[in-house]
A and B are shown apart, each in its own frame.
Chain A
Amino acid sequence: MKRSNEPVFWGLFGAGGMVAALLTPVLILITGILAPMGAVDFSFARVDAFASNILGGLIIWAAVSFPLWLSLHRLYHCLHDFGVHAGNGVKAAFYGAAALGTVAAAYLLLF
């Protein structure tokens, strides 16, 4: 019997669920609410310095990429819930988008 690829995606979904539950809330609060309201210094120099730091860059990369695997996994399975029986092509497109976002985030941070 051919091995299922589901455990790989479920593992990434699990990691994404953790990152989205533990790290994403404070980031939304900072980047989406406090900074736009002027409560936090969000200047280019400051954000650039944070993103250039190895730890800061890793935090940003994790915050961008893992939730992609959570959300695209859930949305793919949600298609079924709404009566859309998508095939392997759609599955490849959803997980492919998550992979693309993961690589793009790393590329933008590193180069």
Chain B
Amino acid sequence: MSKRKPYVRKMGSTWWTKNNFHTMYIVRELSSLVILAYSVILLFGLNALRGGEAAFDAWFAGLTNPLAIVFHVITLLWTLYHATTWFSLAPKAANLWIGEKRVADNVITGSLYAVLGGVTVIGLLIAFVL
């Protein structure tokens, strides 16, 4: 048996509250809580849809609860925060070159915002018009 007693530095679970950069990192990572919850809500919706009209209406009735709407507003804002961080990190993850020239960071980030805007407009058109 080893007599080694390595020192393991205690990290704890509140280190991220002491520095704004770390706090915003955790806020970004925890957006996955509401994003996960939304996927699960949609999964229940798909199950209800498959179960027929009565099951679907019961699922949808749950969404009309004021608390559910508040939850979705929070989820929307938190997901949009994820989007802003994702777009600003994208140029670091995707190092794009056109010929000899590197695509500027703000072109990549700006394009992603444009796509978000386009997808949102198309989605709303489908919801309201079609």
Interface of A toward B, CB cutoff 8 Å: 14, 17-18, 20-37, 40, 42, 44-45, 47-48, 51, 60, 63-65, 67-68, 70-75, 77-78, 81-83, 101, 104-105, 108-109, 111
Contacts and interface: CB of A to CB of B under 8 A. Distances in A.
A17 to B, nearest CB: 5
A22 B83 contact: yes
B87 to A, nearest CB: 7
B123 A27 contact: yes
Nearest to B120: A26
Interface of B: 11-13, 16, 26, 29-30, 32-33, 35-36, 38-43, 45-47, 49-50, 52-53, 56-57, 60, 63-64, 68-69, 71-73, 75-76, 79-80, 82-83, 86-87, 93, 112, 115-116, 119-120, 123-124, 127-128
Given A25-B120, A36-B68, A75 B73 contact: no
Given A24-B38, A47-B49, A64-B46, A78 B80 contact: no
Contacts of B36: 67-68, 71-72, 75
Contacts, number: 152
Contacts of B68: 32, 36
Nearest to B56: A44
A17 B69 CA distance: 23
Contacts of A75: 29, 32-33, 36
B112 A71 contact: no
Given A21-B86, A21-B112, A22-B83, A29 B46 contact: no
Nearest to A75: B32
A67 B46 contact: no
A67 B34 CA distance: 10
A25 B116 contact: yes
A88 to B, nearest CB: 20
A37 B45 CA distance: 17
A51 B46 contact: yes
A81 B13 CA distance: 7
Contact of A24 (B50, B73, B79, B124): B79
A58 B43 CA distance: 14
